[in-house]
Amino acid sequence: MTSRSITHEQLIAYASGDLTGDEAAAVAAHVKVDPHARATVEAWRSVAAAWRTDDTTTPSEQVVARVKQMYAARPASAAAPRAAWLELLDRVLATLVFDSRTQPAMAGFRGTAEVVRLSFTCELGDVDLEVLPPDGAGDARARVIGQMSPSGPKADHVAFCRPGTREVAADGPVLPDGTFELLVEPGAYDLLLHVSGRILTVPSLELT
């Protein structure tokens, strides 16, 4: 493996401690000589450490800004490795166990710009989603904040695809603590999470 073949995903996996053997050694050697790669690894570890410190509190503005910067900095060439996992055939369907839209409205607490909370479960673990409406600043996309609580291996990538297809509308990495955040256009999607060679699937998820 040459330094030129080191991908963004491998840097994140190395920073998360998920690489072993020759692959880990190759990435470590690359990080030593490439300042940009080293900065990526250090930033990811800093973000992960901040999230692990206390998950009952809201992350600082500096941590949130760093996460957004790292998401925006993902090179376009990184799309191929992320898309490859969508070809996997071993898919596990998750079932809905909670939808805040079906709960009785509490007077004074539910308005037109409602935050939707959803929970799903399957043999791979539980998925909790919070869907925030567009911010009204000209961006029509919904903000989806999620977390997977695995029953075994962790998820490492997430994607929103058109129902029954591999057409990606939005995708990105899952942080070491299982959280992810994406901006997604309104519509119907399958939510897909890559979990150690399998795909956790939430089918026909409506985002409005």
CATH number for the domain running over 86-207: 2.60.40
Per-residue model confidence (pLDDT) at position 76: 41
Tokens at 139, concatenated: 């961006």
Distance CA 98, CA 197 (A): 27
- How confident is the chain (208 residues) per 10-residue block, as mean pLDDT? 63 81 87 82 73 57 58 45 74 95 63 81 97 80 94 94 90 93 93 94 91
Sheet of strand 91-93: strand arrangement: 91-93, 198-207, 187-195, 157-161, 168-173
Pairing of strands 125-132, 157-161: unpaired
SS3 132: strand
Tokens at 71, concatenated: 């998401």
- Please classify residue 7 by burial: count the beta carbons closer than 10 Å to its beta carbon, then call 0-12 exposed, 13-18 middle and 19+ buried: middle
